[in-house]
Copies of this chain bind each other. A is one copy, B any other.
Amino acid sequence: METHGLFHTIHQLSRLLTKLVNETLQPFGLYSAQWAVLFVLKTKGAMPQSALCEYLAVEAPPMTRTIQRLAKQGYIRQVPGEDKRIKVIHLTEKAREAYPEWEQAVLSMNDRLLERVPEEQRTLVQLALYDWLGKLKGDLHE
């Protein structure tokens, strides 16, 4: 198991986790990319679209699409900022009402996914990956 093994494992994990979250959210008509946005808005409050991109480390075009779908579903509002280029994204009342149910489903799924990983190991892996990601992103901008 050399470098290929690690990369392949990460890709597989990423795909599998997305798939399981999608299954969890299916009853609510949501997909993982939409959930990520809703979660950030609920946790951090309303923010410009560009801030959502930065926070989720996603380029602008996919964010535009996700935002547009959420708007169509009535879960967010796009409020023009005083800088007229900016769209500030707000959760709607409809989203705030439904949110606890979504969150409950996702959190209990997450717990189920992680219950087989010992707490200590989990933290260790998390820190190591986070650190590695940071270094990689740092390398890119130099």
| Chain A interfacial positions (CB closer than 8 Å to B) | 1, 3-18, 20-21, 36, 39, 56-57, 107, 110-111, 113-114, 116-117, 121-122, 124-126, 128-130, 132-133, 135-137, 139
Contacts and interface: CB of A to CB of B under 8 A. Distances in A.
Contacts of A125: 6, 125, 128-129, 132
Contact of A13 (B10, B111, B113): B10
Contacts of A116: 132, 135-136, 139
14 contacts: A1-B126, A3-B114, A4-B39, A6-B125, A10-B10, A10-B17, A10-B129, A12-B133, A13-B129, A13-B132, A16-B137, A116-B132, A117-B132, A125-B129
Contacts of A132: 13, 116-117, 125
A68 to B, nearest CB: 21
Contact of A6 (B4, B18, B122): B122
Contact of A133 (B9, B129, B130): B9
Contact of A9 (B11, B18, B107, B130): B130
